[in-house]
Structure 1
């Protein structure tokens, strides 16, 4: 009988312990397997949030490529927009913009007329007008050829302008031509029925492009060995009394 009472007392004590564990609001806790699982989960959470795992590994080989497949920014070594660097194509375009492209006045973008003058005597006036859509340069002086003449009339150096004549669309320039000596001192005089006006390039006696053939009077134009011309001038008054 005493043995039965001891067993009953022991069972009552165990039940009391079990009720005490349930009264803490968490239910019955398994002290064997549950706690290790919680500890492992917490450790895994801490590892996933650590700085080492959230920062992509950087390339240390010098190739400029991150080992993280999601990386989008290249290494500074391979950037083309670094300060002080310019692509070759851009530099070329800049260089072209700094140098104006020269368009020469010639027979393709101008009209040329030849007019005999009553004063000064034995003189002719050449007028060249820019009929193109761009400004053109008219360097030096006209290169004249009457009919099939084999020599080139020289220019009067005193009429040379200070800078190259430049004609905007619609503008005109002028040159005077001394056809023959008024006192008859010239030699080899003859009448010509065709005039070819040549244009020079930016260096003396260079080819400036197609020539022009202005009309002459039906009776022709008389010239002799004293034939000479002025430089092209944008101001008619500069050669009006030449």
Structure 2
């Protein structure tokens, strides 16, 4: 009986030891990393990309201007980025003026102004005229005012007509004139600009107090309608 009890005790001790060793082996297995699990802290083998830097996000860097960036200057909304060429006034210094007698309309003279300069000039308003030594300028025909200022390119001509006397003979203080002074008006139409062109009139040029002059015109036929 005693031998049987000793044997049973020995068997129980062996079984207990085996169970403990099995439990320890399972615990060790759980501590080992799986061979198939990917690493989250290192790049894959053969990769050339560096690990991401949490302190320098790429999205923020793309929004920053570079050191060489310069602001775009604001334009003035004009073609060429600036004002256009300045056109000077026509005066005695950059023009030639001639006067001729015409058959139609009757009692008329034709003034022709030609740009002799190297730049365009504007023939503003109407020519200011004085016959002989007259003190008052010849009246201007308001109805002849053009829609735009007459601009003359180099060697280009403009025109104005001169009514010498009314066709019905209603004018007074008539007489024969020998010379005509032609003076240019400035842009604002106040006073005159430059020196006068003094022209010899065609022989027997008769004028009275109904005399008048048209505005400068770009076309000769337009000037002779007044």
* TM-score, normalised via structure 2 length: 0.62
Structure-2 separation of matches of 1:241 and 1:138: 19
1:239 Cα deviation (Å)? 2.4
- Once the two structures are superposed, residues 132-154 of structure 1 have per-residue CA deviations (whole angstroms, 9 ceiling, x without a partner) of 11000001000000111111122
Q: Is the 8 A contact 1:106 1:212 kept in 2?
A: no
**Higher fraction of helix:** 1
The total of aligned residue pairs comes to 157
State whether structure 2 residue 132 is matched by structure 1 residue 144: no
Structure-2 separation of matches of 1:239 and 1:200: 18
**1:211 is paired with a residue of what secondary structure?**
strand
Cα-Cα RMSD = 2.6
**Which of residues 163, 172, 175 in structure 2 aligns to 1:178?**
163
**Which of residues 119, 123, 132 in structure 1 aligns to 2:104?**
119
Partner of 1:100: 85
Partner of 1:195: 180
**2:196 is paired with a residue of what secondary structure?**
coil
Partner of 1:11: none
Pair 220,106 (structure 1): closer, same or farther in 2 beyond 3 Å: farther
1:100 Cα deviation (Å)? 3.4
Partner of 1:83: 71
Unaligned stretches of 5+ in structure 1? 1-75
Partner of 2:58: none
**1:108 is paired with a residue of what secondary structure?**
coil
* TM-score, normalised via structure 1 length: 0.59
Unaligned stretches of 5+ in structure 2? 1-66
**1:237 is paired with a residue of what secondary structure?**
helix
Structure-2 separation of matches of 1:210 and 1:104: 13
